[in-house]
Structure 1
Amino acid sequence: MDWNDSRQEFHSSRVLSGADLPKIGRVTKTADGPLPWRVTDFTADAREIDDFLLTLATNDCSPQTIRSYAFDLLRWWRFLAAVGIRWDTARREDVRDLVLWMRQPQQPGSRAYSPTSINHMLSVLFAFYEYHARLGHGPVANPVPGAALGMRRYEHHNPLAPYQPQKRAPYRQQTVTGAPRVLSQDLVTRVFTALTSTRDKALVAMYLATGARASELLGMKARDVDWGNQLIAVVSKGTRAYQWVPTSPDSLTWLRLYLGEMPLKSPEDALWRTVRRPYRPLQYSALRAMLVRVNKALGTGVTLHDFRHTCASRLANDPSIPLTDVQAVLRHKHLTTTSKYIHTNTQDMVQRVLEHHKAPRDSTPPPAWGYDPCDMAELFGPLP
């Protein structure tokens, strides 16, 4: 066989087009200890992953960040198992093949990984190999290309100097910032009608009224509702601060109906629970499964985060609410993050432009400027 033919055959087998990765390992939530999430069920290499995640926990990273990093590392280990190499012998070509695999749909009718997910994966792997390189473990050169790729663009930019164009790093995907996924009122009504339990309707109403993230609402306790002042308290995902957020009367009405069916015994009880015995705190997987059933029935693709986008867009486009108030409700660190929700509704824009084109142009010239005869008579008297 010719050398070029053998290289082509080897490369096509490494990309694993349309193939599922071996189902080894899983991400597990720990009951206690300094590490909230771990990658388990590995026969080897578990210590290297634990050491890296433990460093993140020591640096005060949120549990959700550690969970996200754990899933990316698990995907990398499954890819390494599929191609038959160890993590400490990985090369740049292996990272390239991983990116090519993630860019392809894994199942018929499914979608490939998004550019943002691929870039996040590369950032996680870069940080992982940099950490072990400082300890003298793993490859001599980081298989994720570019030593400066872990930093954000313009991270140390001088505000007095003009911005200089910067190329994307190797293997990083081009991301397009589009408009937020805002649900129309008709779709919101259809989703709300398709919900079968009072608890689910109370949850969706609360998401749409507060713009809270899925994990923030699920972490609420019975004491986190201020009925008189129309507020709820959540632990913010990023800062982990305990913050009060205004909500709507409708959401509190649905919450009262839900608690009437499933009353709580203690202020420390989880607010959102399963509707079947044994009663236990509602998990994200169960909430997502509920929305999957609704999407299947309606033929839609609504996500939980779409409710936050919808709430944010409604608030940001209300002229009576300052944008800084919207920022406070959404708990954004930067106002520029909130400003992306100020947008023109496409349907309204199209309708206005079509009406402009249909309106006949008025060819009558505007009247010339002049003095009012009554004013002239007041000043100079009746003219002869």
Structure 2
Amino acid sequence: MPQIGRLEETGEVAEPYRLVDPQGQLVVPTAVFFADLQAASKPAATIRSYGMDLLRWYRFLWAVEVLWNQATRIEARDFSRWLQLADKPTRVHWRHQRKGIAADAVPAQREPQRAAPGTPNPVTGKPVPGQKYAATTRAHCETVLRTFYDFHLEEGTGPIVNPFPLDRSRRVGRAHAHHNPMDSFRPERQGRYRPKVSKRIPRRIPDELFNALFAALKYNRE
């Protein structure tokens, strides 16, 4: 996938992030969407998270030469398949970014041997990320893009049909609609192209580090 376009941090409170195309021009549909997120009291970190998913989607559309408001479920399906198969892009270290060196021109450096993907960290229990996009990343991306197109459908500025539809078992309505609070929630698939995310195992730290952490706290409110 060509690494074209970028998500810029502006440093402005009214517009913390902006998505620009390969020519450096503002992508207006995303700017309007970000403004709506900010009006809904979403923090800047959420806008950045949504922006990274939108940047990934726009790069795909630019590569296949399809306009954002002409994207169909065929492009959404192929994009979801690409996320499953593609490797995450190799990011250039910030030292080389300042020098303008490409990723394939960076000299190989000796690094300590990394644990195999999925191996839990001995301290935090967090698994080592793999080369592919995680299911949680793909699920978040599907939710963001479905929300993005739902917003423009309501505004009348997007395509007639959302490229990222709900699951076939849910023709209309949201998940858990008319749920009885006395009953337990049953698993209900949301997006048609949303991957299944396995239940996370709670992270933990060794007892000695837990004791050291509380010993370092100075005040009761901490």
What is the TM-score normalised by the length of structure 1? 0.41
Is it true that 1:141 corresponds to 2:161 in the alignment? yes
1:121 is aligned to 141
Deviation at 1:135, TM superposition (A): 2.2
Percent identity over the alignment is 31
CA distance in 2, matches of 1:62, 1:152: 25
Structure number, greater radius of gyration: 1
CA distance in 1, matches of 2:11, 2:186: 48
1:171 is aligned to 193
2:57 is aligned to 76
The structure whose residues are more often helix, as a share, is 1
Larger RCO: Structure 1 or Structure 2 (Cα < 8 Å, ≥ 6 residues apart)?
Answer: 2
Instruction: Return the letter of the residue paired with 1:111.
Output: Q
Bigger drift between 41-50 and 79-88 goes to 41-50
Change (3 A) 1:132 1:83: same
For 1:75, what is the secondary structure of its paired residue?
A: helix
Instruction: Return the letter of the residue paired with 2:163.
Output: P
CA distance in 2, matches of 1:32, 1:24: 23
Contact residue 166 and residue 190 of structure 2 kept, 8 A: no
Instruction: Return the letter of the residue paired with 1:58.
Output: A
Change (3 A) 1:88 1:168: closer
CA distance in 2, matches of 1:30, 1:83: 29
Write out aligned runs for 1:185-200 (5 A): none
Write out aligned runs for 1:1-384 (5 A): 21-43=1-23, 46-106=27-87, 110-146=130-166, 153-154=175-176, 157-161=179-183, 163-164=185-186, 166-167=188-189, 169-184=191-206, 209=213, 230-231=218-219, 246=222
CA distance in 2, matches of 1:90, 1:161: 39
Runs of at least 4 residues of structure 1 off by over 6 A?
none
Gaps of 5+ in 1: 1-20, 189-204, 211-226, 232-243, 247-384
Deviation at 1:153, TM superposition (A): 4.1
CA distance in 2, matches of 1:97, 1:183: 40
Gaps of 5+ in 2: 91-116, 118-129
CA distance in 2, matches of 1:72, 1:123: 10
Bigger drift between 82-91 and 106-115 goes to 106-115
**TM-superposition CA deviations, 1:309-339 (whole Å, max 9, x none):** xxxxxxxxxxxxxxxxxxxxxxxxxxxxxxx
For 1:103, what is the secondary structure of its paired residue?
A: helix
What is the TM-score normalised by the length of structure 2? 0.67
Deviation at 1:245, TM superposition (A): 5.1
Change (3 A) 1:129 1:66: same
**TM-superposition CA deviations, 1:226-247 (whole Å, max 9, x none):** x9x814xxxxxxxxxxxx852x
RMSD of Structure 2 on Structure 1 (CA): 3.3
